Amino acid sequence: MKIRPMAAPLAVFAFMLLVFPAMAGTVTERMKRDCRNDYHRYCKGLELGSEKLRACMSRSIRGVSTRCIYALVDGKQMTNAQATRVLNKRKKK
């Protein structure tokens, strides 16, 4: 079975949503600052800290800024390994 290029990152974030649901409400100041444009671009109108916003950002991760990705890692919303995979896929394009 061939996996589409975006399927792996989406699967990782879906897994995170299931395993770490309590983290959804945790929004750091760095995430607010460094992800502001990404939130507005991809998930406008969704409440900060909501499951809907978290799911939206997960679906949009291919376009999320590098700065925001590092803020998500710092806020424990992504692991370094997940961030590295997303960023490496961008370099390959």
Dump pLDDT digits (tens) for 53-84. 989 999 999 999 999 999 999 999 999 999 99
Mean pLDDT of the chain: 82
Is residue 4's pLDDT more than 80?
no
Distance CA(63)–CA(15), nearest Å, equals 20
pLDDT of residue 88 exceeding 80: yes
Write down the pLDDT at residue 92: 79
Q: What integer pLDDT is reported at residue 33 of this predicted model? A: 97
3-state secondary structure of 42: helix
Higher per-residue confidence, 56 vs 1: 56
Contacts 24+ apart (CB under 8 A), 58-61: 58/10, 58/13, 58/14, 58/16, 58/17, 59/10, 59/13, 61/9, 61/10, 61/13, 61/86
Residues 71, 22 contacting (CB under 8 angstroms): no
At residue 15, does pLDDT exceed 60? no
